[in-house]
Amino acid sequence: ETQIHTHMCYSEFNDIIQNIADMDADVITIECSRSQMELLDAFADFKYPNEIGPGVYDIHSPRVPAREEMVQLMEKAKAVISVDQLWINPDCGLKTRNWDETKKALVEMVGAAKELRLLINESVVV
């Protein structure tokens, strides 16, 4: 099965949210970390039908974010979007970073994803 992904950054989603939904991409990834997930407000008001990957770290900065920072951002995201619709990913492509920075950041991001899955599974079981 083919899955269609699209990416958007630095957009005013409130102005184009219906058009984004009309594209019918299976997943949209968006730059979201620098705004502390504020861009997701557009998706809270408009019930986006597909999956969303809000970025959890700014790839334009050499700073490697801590796992806990990414977990906190995704906690904000899941307050607005169903966990069944969420992906975890960097803000954008990684071409501005060197391999060492990229690897460290992705290791932290994968750790954040694993931690979030545990937290979600624990809350479902209880």
Task: Identify the three-state secondary structure at position 21.
Answer: helix
Contacts of 17 (CB under 8 A, 6+ apart): 42, 43, 46, 48
Task: Identify the three-state secondary structure at position 34.
Answer: coil
Q: Is 60 a catalytic residue?
A: yes
Catalytic residue among 5, 47, 60, 104: 60
Contact predicate 84/59, CB 8 Å: no
Residues recognised as catalytic: 60
